[in-house]
Chains A and B, each alone.
Chain A
């Protein structure tokens, strides 16, 4: 079995509220999350808005100082903020953000954008620096003449490919992808996902893929983790996840997805109909955080927060039903 590359244990990230009506309270964005990623695999981190999936990603790359917990990468502790991490670690973890319109500097040419990570990590090919950049463009299937263009003249999909090329420049072994295709049309999404799959194979890359699209994860992820209010509700290998979803929230999510074929209809759990809304992470309900929406709720769910339990190989569920 492949080596574990990233391990997150008991990760917590709270944001204190500094002003306004709720001053003094905290937003519990990530509230005790455990997961790991193996070399060359894709972990899909799926959840609704406000579930803490992006915050988790930002903690992994060190954009936030974490409140509690441990993050280790290739056996090395990286729980500290990115500014305190050794350069060699930062070189080994790439990041692609959701909106390439705001994460690419509009005043820099493609050449400048791609050169920056190379010069920061001192890996510029001195003999032929331009060839090195052209190779990167070729990797993401962008034409060579784009080298002197600016992001504004690229289409949405092409900008995201450029962002991926920038993340690839330092040859990382883990890429954190925060909804890289959710702002794009499906025809462009298909191209980018295919490219990511090819790159993963060629370079044995591991992906932490943040998304809200379970249909996409079905075709991409090795394992899927569902987040709800800062906690992981269920984590399972993709096949098991779709054939035997256990957590009531997973079933609610699956039953809500609008699909195109009867084969897909058959996969949707019928018993759990969507109701209610995700509560605010400022006032997390006591006990299990899903107790406000769960159709199988019992008295115990209001008193005790369930612990993660293993129900199969690599399959973990956080629900009293499986106690």
Chain B
């Protein structure tokens, strides 16, 4: 049995807002095994980023977690103290954010920032500047950056968007990690640069043997990078399956609707789109949160929240259509 790195169980997260509590995460379950690459696919504001930020406990101060467990290597992140959290963030998991312009400090050189990360990683020998420098150069070389010495002396604004994102990848993998979280790392990049960055990310994660959680709104990106996909809608994981299986047989009505909306390179015209819009988090639907937009909704869907049902190996779907009791 492979070791489980992350195990999120029945996680609820809500945000205090002017209009009251926004109940965003609604019982999220997610597991990532050692060396596994999973992606979370969903549309804007479905809770993808909230889910991964809660793993590192870097949610906004308005957020609270009324229920749930997040196990990282077996210990509950929600019960961790200050020093344990520090250890988790410095050597357990690292995160690559969507916009490298925002996540790199504009007033320090790349070298200073990389050395700081390496210094607090808890590795042996990093007290010496020469060791830190060597590790930084090595990390940049591994992400196929030309002329690492020059990059180390540059400030973030002197690099292009693609280069900055590669620096972030180098930064997140400069020291050993169990998990890398990449939150839409290529959304701001052009398609040819996206291709390069994703290939490097995938190759580095595989070479280091760590696990990856990739957040994206593109099924194409998920398909080409990860082994297993979670489809998320309105704070719920509605379906998870190994990548190939999900594309062969998407089961949840939302997965199917979302996939049909994506224009194909092979043509075939445009789909209709999904009727309605994402429900308000302040007053979410009582039962299944997709029910108001679902073409196959039954009376039961508006009353009860569907639990995840096993429908195959590693394939789970949270929908009453696949419940043995049927839609009664």
In the complex the two chains form, what is the Cα distance from A275 to B195 in whole Å? Answer: 9
Interface residues of B (CB under 8 A from A): 43-44, 160, 162-163, 190-196, 198, 217-221, 223-224, 247, 257-259, 261-274, 277
Beyond A48-B190, A191-B272, A260-B247, whether A218 also contacts B264 by CB under 8 A is yes
Contact B162 A264 (CB under 8 A): no
Contact A260 B261 (CB under 8 A): no
Instruction: Across the interface, name the chain B residue whose C-beta is closest to A183.
Output: B44
How big is chain A's contact interface, by range? 35 or more
Instruction: Across the interface, name the chain A residue whose C-beta is closest to B220.
Output: A258
DSSP majority for the A interface? helix
Known contacts A190-B263, A190-B274, A268-B265; 11 additional CB pairs below 8 A are A48-B191, A186-B217, A187-B258, A190-B273, A191-B272, A215-B262, A218-B265, A252-B192, A256-B195, A257-B220, A259-B265
Instruction: Across the interface, name the chain B residue whose C-beta is closest to A188.
Output: B273
In the complex the two chains form, what is the Cα distance from A157 to B271 in whole Å? Answer: 16
Contact B266 A218 (CB under 8 A): yes
Shortest CB-to-CB span from A159 to chain B, Å, is 12
Contact B266 A267 (CB under 8 A): yes
Interface presence of A33 (CB below 8 A) = no
In the complex the two chains form, what is the Cα distance from A258 to B224 in whole Å? Answer: 7
Shortest CB-to-CB span from A189 to chain B, Å, is 7
Which residue of A157, A191, A268, A278 contacts B190 across the interface (Cβ within 8 Å)? A278
* Central interface residue in A214, A215, A242, A254, by most chain B CB within 10 Å: A215
Contact A274 B268 (CB under 8 A): no
Beyond A186-B43, A215-B262, A258-B224, whether A220 also contacts B192 by CB under 8 A is no
In the complex the two chains form, what is the Cα distance from A194 to B274 in whole Å? Answer: 12
Interface presence of A263 (CB below 8 A) = yes
Instruction: Across the interface, name the chain A residue whose C-beta is closest to B271.
Output: A190
In the complex the two chains form, what is the Cα distance from A48 to B196 in whole Å? Answer: 14
Beyond A275-B196, A277-B160, whether A187 also contacts B266 by CB under 8 A is no
Shortest CB-to-CB span from A312 to chain B, Å, is 19
Beyond A48-B191, A256-B194, whether A194 also contacts B265 by CB under 8 A is no
Contact B277 A155 (CB under 8 A): yes
Shortest CB-to-CB span from B228 to chain A, Å, is 16
